[in-house]
Amino acid sequence: MRRDIFQAIADPTRRAIITLIAFQAMTPNAIAENFNTTRQAVSKHLRILAECELVKQEHQGREIYYSLEIDKMKEIDKWLEQFRKIWENRFNQLDNLLLTIKKAEK
């Protein structure tokens, strides 16, 4: 199935996993210890994250270390870009308003 990064971060457990492995690679078992679910459930989440290339695997013996593909996260940032322009502009408008008020006070 076609996976999407926005769909990937929709699930709270997956967001937690992302945060967890952002700084250090971890095995499925180690990750699962942090949640109230089975290892298999975590494994499924990892598969979804891997499908949309949000995580990368590093095999080491029988263990698999998962780590965050940080560049992929930029895609979310990229989508936000269009809106950031708006809210920054709003802020400028507020600036202008405050300036107008100050002028009026003089």
Partner DNA sequence: AATTTGCGCAATCGAAAGGTTTCATATATA
Partner DNA sequence: TATATATGAAACCTTTCGATTGCGCAAATT
Structure tokens at 100: 């107008």
For residue 40, count other CB atoms closer than 10 A to its CB: 10
Q: Does 86 bind its own copies (CB under 8 A)?
A: yes
Structure tokens at 97: 């308003």
- Residue from 19, 34, 37, 92 touching DNA (CB under 7 A): that is 37
Closest alpha carbon to 45 in 69, 80, 9, 73 = 9
Residues that bind DNA (CB under 7 A): 1, 7, 10-11, 13, 27-30, 36-41, 43-48, 57, 61-64
Interface with its own copies (CB under 8 A): 4, 6-7, 9-10, 12, 15, 19, 22-23, 68, 70-71, 73-74, 76-77, 79-80, 82-84, 86-87, 90
